[in-house]
């Protein structure tokens, strides 16, 4: 079994990732423009603005923060710089967990071997993931603590989802579901509620088993509503729209 190391944080760090849609200013339709957007950004923001599965959205990350206020100021700086850069391209950032009318069939996969492998493995389940979420990282000191905190968070996931829900529309119609993003994500076999494990050792065994059986290609394909992030040394809450 391959060991899975966990990066220790000496204090409860805070990090935020937010996925935002790239839309055309004139039509508000999704635009497969991530390459042009990244080229237009000042170099100092490249570490905070990342491509994602589809070319029609991006992810904005904070640095490692200590307080909510610090994270908010960090996000604000990057958002303002991004909005200024893409305005020259005839684009806007659109805040919603699904797009109200653009079809997933028209979205292009970002040029990245990991994304190609995911789509090859999951096919249309992956191609339909034109969804956009908010992820929150809280640093902890050990893998065992990450497992424990993740388990304690389960009771709060419905509350967090209900407070953040903003995706009732899908392909031009009202689905009647407040968070249609969460329903789409349920189609992914590695999403939804996490497998319950008792400690970091059991989690390591599970990840090795999923990789060895071909169920996932890498640990990054685990998209549970709450999960440990071994590289960052955090508990990552992923349930929010």
In percent, how much of the chain has pLDDT > 90? Answer: 98
pLDDT of residue 222: 96
Region for residue 28 given its phi and psi (left: phi exceeds 0; alpha: psi -120 to 50; beta: otherwise): left
CA–CA dist 126, 217 (Å, integer): 14
Average pLDDT over residues 170-185: 98
pLDDT level of residue 237 (50, 70, 90 thresholds): very high
pLDDT of residue 2: 86
CA torsion sign for 102, 104, 106, 109 is positive
Name residues whose C-beta falls within 8 Å of residue 14's C-beta, 6 or more positions apart in sequence.
62, 64, 65, 66, 67, 68, 70, 71, 136, 137, 138, 139
Beta strands (DSSP E) in 36-195 are 49-51, 57-61, 91-94, 134-139, 169-170, 173-174, 191-192
pLDDT level of residue 94 (50, 70, 90 thresholds): very high
Domain at 14-240, CATH class:
alpha beta
pLDDT of residue 163: 98
Paired sense of beta strands 223-224 and 14-24, if any: unpaired
Beta strands (DSSP E) in 68-147 are 91-94, 134-139
Region for residue 142 given its phi and psi (left: phi exceeds 0; alpha: psi -120 to 50; beta: otherwise): beta
Q: What is the mean pLDDT of the chain?
A: 97
- Determine whether 15 is exposed, middle or buried from the number of CB atoms within 10 Å of its CB (0-12, 13-18, 19+): buried
Q: Kindly report, residue by residue over 139-168, the tens digit of the pLDDT.
A: 999 999 999 999 999 999 999 999 999 999
SS3 227: strand
Q: In the numeric block, which tokens belong to residue 139?
A: 């640093």
Average pLDDT over residues 208-234: 96
Give the range among 33-37, 48-52, 53-57, 185-189 with minimum mean pLDDT. 185-189
Per DSSP, the residues of 150-195 read HHHHGGGHHHHHHHH--B-EETTEE-S-TBHHHHHHTTSTTEESPP
Q: Are 8 and 21 in contact (CB under 8 A)?
A: no
CB under 8 A, 24+ apart: contacts of 75-78: 75/16, 75/18, 78/45, 78/48, 78/49
Q: In the numeric block, which tokens belong to residue 61?
A: 């990350």
Q: Kindly report, residue by residue over 34-51, the tens digit of the pLDDT.
A: 999 999 999 999 999 999
pLDDT level of residue 79 (50, 70, 90 thresholds): very high
Average pLDDT over residues 125-148: 98
pLDDT of residue 173: 97
pLDDT of residue 236: 99
Kindly tell me if the per-residue pLDDT of 1 is higher than 80: no
């Amino acid at each position: 079994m391959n060991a899975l190391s966990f990066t220790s944080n000496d204090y409860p760090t805070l990090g935020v990732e937010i996925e935002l849609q790239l839309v055309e200013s004139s039509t508000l339709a999704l635009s497969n423009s991530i390459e042009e957007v990244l080229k237009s950004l000042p170099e100092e923001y490249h570490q905070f603005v990342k491509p994602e599965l589809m070319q029609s959205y991006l992810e904005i990350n904070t640095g490692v923060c200590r307080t909510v206020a610090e994270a908010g100021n960090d996000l604000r700086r990057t958002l303002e710089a991004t909005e200024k850069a893409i305005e020259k391209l005839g684009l806007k950032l659109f805040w919603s967990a699904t797009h109200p009318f653009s079809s997933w069939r028209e979205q292009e996969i970002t040029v990245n071997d990991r994304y190609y492998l995911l789509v090859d493995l999951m096919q249309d389940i992956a191609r339909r993931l034109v969804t956009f979420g908010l992820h929150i990282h809280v640093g902890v000191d050990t893998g065992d603590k990450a497992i424990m905190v993740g388990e304690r968070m389960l009771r709060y996931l419905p509350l967090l989802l209900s407070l953040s829900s903003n995706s009732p529309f899908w392909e031009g119609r009202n689905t009647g579901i407040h968070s249609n993003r969460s329903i789409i994500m349920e189609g992914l076999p590695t999403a939804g509620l996490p497998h319950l494990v008792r400690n970091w050792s059991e989690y390591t065994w599970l990840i090795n088993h999923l990789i060895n059986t071909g169920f996932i290609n890498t640990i990054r394909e685990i998209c549970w509503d709450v999960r440990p992030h071994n590289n960052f040394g955090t508990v990552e809450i992923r349930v929010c729209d």
